[in-house]
A and B are shown apart, each in its own frame.
Chain A
Amino acid sequence: MSAEHPVARADDIPVGEGRAHVVAGQQIAVFRLRDGRIRAVQATCPHAGGPLADGLVDDTVVICPLHNHTFDLATGCSTTGQPAVRTYPAHVDDNGNIIVSVPQP
């Protein structure tokens, strides 16, 4: 089971950037991609705890700002040999709110 949480207004995240939020007790980096989609992954890089919300993104990956480890935003898989990051389903609802689904324990 997972629960949907509104985390921010879509306008609060600049296009092509990420912002971090605590959602249901978890640190989550939420990205608003240039193609309009929203992606949400765990906020810290599994390599050395880098802040992924500060990373450069395109339509598919985020690059950690500390050591350039790269993760697929849809699957969480690393293309640079690191463990995967957790991903969370996310979308913008009709009112312009970003909704992130976090599994319930």
Chain B
Amino acid sequence: MTNPQRLVVVGNGMAGARAVEEILHRGGDRMFSITMFGDEPYGNYNRILLSGLLAGTDDAEEIFLNPVEWYRDNGITLHAGVRVVRIDRFAKLVLADDGSVTPYDKLIIATGSRPFYPPVEGMWRDNKTLTPGVFGFRTLDDCAAMVHHAREHRRAVVIGGGLLGLEAAHGLRANGLEVHVVQSAPLLMNQQLDTQAGHVLRRSVDKLGITVHTGQRLTAIRHENIVTGVVFADGSTIDCDMVVVTAGIRPNVGLGIVSGLTVERGIVVDDQLRSIDDDDIYAVGECAQHRGEVYGLVAPLWEQAVVLAEHVTGHNPHSAYHGSRTATKLKVAGIDVATMGLKQPEREDDEFVQFSEPRHGVYKTVIIRDDRLVGATLMGDVSKVAFLMQAFDRGLPLPEERIQLLFDIGTPAPSVGAAELDDDAQVCNCNGVSKADLVTRVRAGERTLSGVMNATRAGKGCGSCKGLVADIVEWAAGGKIEDDPAANWYVPCIPMDKPELMAEIRSRGLRSVSAVFAELTRDGRPDAASKMALTSLLRMMWGTEFVDERDARFVNDRVHANIQKDGTFSVVPQIKGGVTTPAELRRIAEVAERYDVPLVKLTGGQRIDLLGVRKEDLPKVWADLGMPSGHAYGKSFRTVKTCVGSDFCRYGLGDSTALGIAIEERFKGLESPGKLKLAVAGCPRNCSEALVKDLGVVAVEGGRWEIYVGGAAGAHVRKGDLLTTVDSPDEVITITGRFLQYYRENARWLERTYAFVPRIGIDRVRAVVVSDSEGIAARLDAAMQASVAAYRDPWLEGEKPVTPGQFRTALPLIDLPQVPVR
């Protein structure tokens, strides 16, 4: 462009500089010649780190976001230390206190805030200068002056017990001063915290050696050239030689007022961050008021800067800011505090979960309305903050057990918040992926969870770390994680969730995996990673009408055995309910010897596993065993573990063994989204561990049976939810079949019941399966009956292989090498 537009930015703080960065990022350097005015004689720095600078934990070098060279390198004219005093909107000029006049085409006001000084006697020496020894806490200069003053003085009073006041107190304490915090409200951080949290925080602050005075209103600052003390409304005093005023901030709106812009608490802007009076003037950050809100946090400012840049560059003229849900996580005086949304329940039916442990400085609450997180406070232990922030921000579904929002319960490894985790901490214990590996990927530009998971293989083993991986990726991306539309797709190559995909398959009558690829993928080509999931789905949907293509099966399902690390297979014959006979045991023993089976092992599901069988031996092994398949290899119904029940056990209340055998007989080998492990216990002693099974049945006194669903005791541990209690084994089988069919139709691929049941919610599952709330019970029962009727023992294929070389080894032995000829 030959004549770039003139963009003038008033304010060189975090908002102004961020807005310019976002504009440059969208090619703004070609569109605009940019001029920036900054009140302070520096480049741009991170104001949030000033408290670290005061405490001596950060140094001045580190807090600069953009040094002066950055402005030069990006062709920005920076007037540092120059204050703009007026805008002539009609001539489109800005007038500065150095007498300069600068024309603009587009103007951004980002003047931020200034400290609020309560009107008390002794605060000011003259119109512009504070009494010596009195400080605000806003700028780099304030901070430097405080550090300098603190060296030769010993007792400081901080006016204001909010966030900034506590940070100042902590910093001064680190400088060796005796520190008092004076708060006019009855609580510390009363803006963000409820009463209890305020008390817990106060205990923690006390422990830092900071004296807190609440409910005290300052009336005067005593001084003799320099500060000597403070006086309160009740007449009491504190002697001191330093006062820091952190009693709130006020937006800098003077420029807006004198220039004729609409100003309420801040400069009033529309959804594009433009002044409502002037389309060429934008306001962003703490000086802007959007839909009645003025934000004093950094996250909303980032969001505003993006919208502003999208709009002013024309990159996306429809970009709009709709306000921010403010969630903060900070260290206040070394104490972790995270708050979001409401601090206490407002309506009668708001759910409120509260945990308080003042002695350890831990306090947590969540507030839930209509199943959505609307507020949370975490103090002392913020390990759950990443999930809560996501849930708050995006309205994610919440765990049915609300306590899980506050604590990790029943997870194998102690879950640690993403931010606190050490870089070298191993996150994925299956594939050995560390936090640093994940962060590196994000820094390299990967912005979706699945992208990071694919690149690092984190979460691709047992999957139990997926939540933590998601937290870390989100944290590393600074919350700017891109929604991954593929996350809800049933298979990666077709952009549909499971219900959509099923409807499409049904309406088009697609009965084979290749037909699905041809009709529903973008390029009509097969996708190896989607084959197994589609095979399972189509078989479930079509039963005997399914057109079975063997190449779409995983190897286990091609040869009906479980592949082992050396390419051999494990063979588990069916032993229903864990009940066998001497004759069967004899045959198993003979087979093990005949085929040199290297390992014979009892499984957790009460069966016998022959491990290390060569693929080519499988048909002979099956024939010699003369037993049906135990299906210990597929994403399917696996086993029913039972206790000895009422025939022999002196405690047995119900015949768990017979019921277990009946269940396994009916549902054996049924394909499903994830494997299914069941159990039946003859009494509440639960010897068969029915409470931690995908579906567990427990006999209770009175001839009744409890049915639990969604339990697990593997990579993930979860006690099943009580679905219902029924009066007879027949009802157990009916409800079991209906639940399994509901799970088959609605669970995502590889979603075990321990994830599926809480996702749907046990109440909903119960309504559908037990009370037939959707009127689908009869259809579910019929679909299950069809699947059961279509069952055929796959080991019969051993007699007549289905494909050429079905049982041919995939690791053929190499002929002995020939002796080299000399």
Contact = CB atoms under 8 A, between A and B. Distances in A.
Interface of A: 11-22, 25-27, 29, 34-35, 43-44, 48-59, 61-63, 65-66, 68, 70, 80-81
A29 B810 contact: yes
Contacts of A51: 563, 567, 810-811
Interface string B507-537: 0000000100000000001111101100000
Contacts of B778: none
Nearest to B514: A34
Interface size class of B (residues with CB under 8 A): 35 or more
A48 B567 CA distance: 10
B813 interface: yes
A14 B550 contact: yes
Contact of B551 (A12, A17, A21, A81): A17
A-B pairs with the 6 shortest C-beta distances? A16-B551, A51-B810, A53-B810, A54-B555, A58-B526, A58-B528
B153 interface: no
B805 A65 contact: no
A81 B437 CA distance: 13
23 contacts: A12-B804, A14-B804, A14-B805, A16-B550, A17-B550, A17-B803, A18-B810, A22-B812, A22-B815, A26-B814, A27-B811, A34-B514, A43-B811, A51-B563, A53-B810, A54-B563, A54-B810, A56-B529, A56-B552, A59-B526, A65-B554, A66-B565, A70-B528
Given A13-B805, A49-B565, A59-B526, 16 more contacts: A15-B551, A16-B551, A17-B803, A19-B808, A20-B810, A22-B813, A27-B811, A27-B814, A51-B811, A54-B558, A56-B528, A56-B531, A56-B532, A58-B525, A59-B525, A66-B563
A98 to B, nearest CB: 13
Interface string B445-465: 000000000110100100000
B746 interface: no
Contacts of B552: 16, 56
Contacts of A11: 804
A80 to B, nearest CB: 6
Given A14-B803, A25-B817, A65 B551 contact: no
Contacts of A57: 528, 551
Interface of B: 454-455, 457, 460, 514, 525-529, 531-532, 549-552, 554-556, 558, 563, 565-567, 803-805, 808-815, 817
Contacts of A54: 555, 558, 563, 567, 810
B149 to A, nearest CB: 56
B457 A80 contact: yes
Contacts of A22: 812-815
Please indicate which of the listed interface residues A26, A54, A68 has the most CB atoms of chain B within 10 Å of its own CB: A54
Nearest to B518: A34
Contact of A34 (B532, B551, B555): B551
A20 B551 contact: no
Contacts of B532: 56
Given A26-B814, A43-B810, A80-B457, A55 B555 contact: yes
A22 B812 CA distance: 7
B528 A62 contact: yes
Contacts of B514: 34
A70 B565 CA distance: 17
B555 A65 contact: yes
Given A15-B551, A63-B528, A49 B815 contact: no
Given A12-B804, A48-B565, A68-B460, A56 B810 contact: no
Contacts of B813: 22
Contacts of A26: 814
A21 to B, nearest CB: 6
B525 A50 contact: no
A54 B559 CA distance: 10
Contacts of A59: 525-526
A16 B526 contact: yes
Contact of B455 (A35, A49, A81): A81
A12 B256 CA distance: 82
B565 A20 contact: no
B805 A21 contact: no
Contact of B811 (A18, A35, A44): A44
A71 to B, nearest CB: 11
A52 B567 CA distance: 10
B436 to A, nearest CB: 16
A4 B192 CA distance: 77
A59 B813 CA distance: 28
Contacts of A81: 455, 457
A20 B807 CA distance: 11
Given A43-B811, A53-B810, A13 B526 contact: no
Contacts of B455: 81
A55 B563 CA distance: 11
A26 B811 CA distance: 11
A61 B525 CA distance: 12
A44 B526 CA distance: 23
B566 to A, nearest CB: 7
Contacts of A48: 565
A65 B567 CA distance: 9
Nearest to B461: A67
A65 B563 contact: yes
A13 B810 CA distance: 12
B81 to A, nearest CB: 52
Nearest to B532: A56
A9 B552 CA distance: 22
A17 B804 CA distance: 10
B804 A56 contact: no
Contacts of B810: 18-20, 29, 43, 51-54
A68 B455 CA distance: 13
A64 B296 CA distance: 53
Contacts of B457: 80-81
A20 B549 CA distance: 20
Contacts of A18: 810
A16 B76 CA distance: 60
A53 B811 CA distance: 8
Nearest to A44: B811
Contacts of B556: 65
A57 B812 CA distance: 20
Nearest to B567: A51
Contacts of B528: 55-58, 61-63, 70
Contacts of B555: 54-56, 65
A30 to B, nearest CB: 11
Nearest to A79: B454
Contacts of A68: 460
Contacts of A14: 550-551, 803-805
A27 B551 contact: no
A51 B813 CA distance: 12
